[in-house]
Structure 1
């Protein structure tokens, strides 16, 4: 089974603190449809102190030969008029304890092909150069409040899919004697969601449920085993279909 997409990023930042922020970004995969240019992403803070969060964005590029990915800084447009890719507005969030703030992800550039981005939400102790709208006194007070013990400030990464303007789905399924295969002949990602591999006779005998992304031109497949049942939902944009395959 081919690995088609890098999973979410995860980073930890340790500060001396007794109690602090605890952020949650909800889903770690988000999709911008071809007829949309902006997407609202919400950041929740379940901790008992304010979270200062930086939003960092890199573009994910896939090698056409071996499928390996690399994350690179965003570039400007060819004519130098602006950024070519995804931007966050605002890129600095102050999220109150037990509260929520949102940032709007805006895509600027050509939509002739699908593009992929890593969006990281990184909680920090604010410094002057971080450009948070707080005074020096407020920064110092916050720093002092995080000084009684040890906690972990956890940052999370989401993968953001920007679909082509003219999105086309075309999933070709081959259900052979020993193999089940889905080839994405369209131009946008297809999702195999909640993939379950269970014994027909013992419903407790199941492999962990998984999620798979099939990029355009790529294939997802699995070997069918006698006595096993495979259930999943095939998601093509707003359309979804539940499938049940017997081994």
Structure 2
């Protein structure tokens, strides 16, 4: 299989690693998430994302789950909710102004390889027909208020990685001109966190963005002259300290 490039992500706790978002309008205080990346470990069948409403009005939010390829392309939608490998519950949210609501992520079916999902949180005008638990009167009143605000509401998408039940980690670090290449020959994503570039024989270091390397992918790590790199290699629940280049 051809190599896939590594990807950058900001450093956050192990279960949640930040990723991008999509906009449903111009940037404005609206709904936000506690994280934009969730990792469901091999021994976990559930996870959580918390939705916060930072706007002065009640937010009505639709939750969509889309399976992705490792490269981020959307896969074709399935015909039945029961066929999905990941469910979000609830998938319709009513979040009061200044409030929050927890969405559970539930994995289903076989997990013989790593899978990737985008969970989208989309502000919408509430309708009973769409599954919102509201009365006809509340629907009419809410719709009048919400329609005027949807143009400035912000929606977010979290990336969810579902690990296989039996992960295989096979990381190789090979020297090349100007640095090293980290190869992921396993079936699960690996992460390089606590990444620093330091001057030899000195405590002068600069922080670098964390990285991830997808299964069967690779990442080139360049080392500047008279400097070395250090990072923590995360393979599932195992963390190993690594150094590239000479410290002295």
Same fold per superposition (TM over 0.5): yes
Contact 1:21 1:51 in 2 (8 A): no
Alignment of 1:179-198 (within 5 A): 179-197=179-197
> What is the match of residue 72 of structure 1?
75
Q: CA deviation at 1:185?
A: 2.4
| Equivalent pair of 2:189/2:235 in contact (CA under 8 Å) | yes
Cα distance, 1:228–1:129 mapped onto 2, change above 3 Å: farther
Which residue does the alignment assign to 1:12? 23
Alpha-carbon distance in structure 2 between the residues aligned to 1:122 and 1:143: 15
Residue 27 (structure 1) aligns with:
35
Report the number of matched residues: 233
TM-score scaled to structure 2, two decimals? 0.78
| 5+ long unaligned stretches in structure 2 | 10-18
With over 3 angstroms needed to count, the CA separation of the structure-2 counterparts of 1:228 and 1:50, relative to structure 1, is farther
Per the TM alignment, residue 184 of structure 1 is displaced from its structure 2 partner at its CA by 1.5
Q: 1:37 to 1:147 in 2, by over 3 A?
A: closer
Q: Give the whole-Å Cα distance in 2 for the aligned partners of 1:160 and 1:40.
A: 10
Aligned mates of 1:226, 1:174 — CA distance in 2: 18
Task: Kindly state the Cα deviation for residue 189 of structure 1 after the two structures are TM-superposed.
Answer: 0.7
Q: Classify 1:5/1:83 alpha carbon distance in 2 versus 1 (closer, same or farther; 3 Å).
A: farther
Shift of 1:165: 0.7
- In structure 2, the residue matched to 1:99 is 99
CA RMSD after TM alignment = 3.2
Match of 1:221 in 2: 220
Deviation at 1:13, TM superposition (A): 2.6
2:196, 2:130 → 1: CA distance? 44
Distance 1:23 1:198 in 2: 39
Aligned to 1:65: none
Structure number with the higher strand fraction is 1
Give the Cα–Cα distance (whole angstroms) in 1 for the partners of residues 209 and 174 of structure 2: 21
Write out aligned runs for 1:136-147 (5 A). Answer: 136-146=136-146
Q: CA 1:5–1:135 in 2, change beyond 3 Å: closer, same or farther?
A: farther
**Is 1:58 aligned with 2:61?**
no
Partners of 1:175 and 1:238 lie apart in 2 by 26
1:243–1:131 Cα change, 3 Å: same
State whether residues 123 and 150 of structure 2, in contact with CA within 8 Å, keep that contact through their aligned partners in structure 1. no
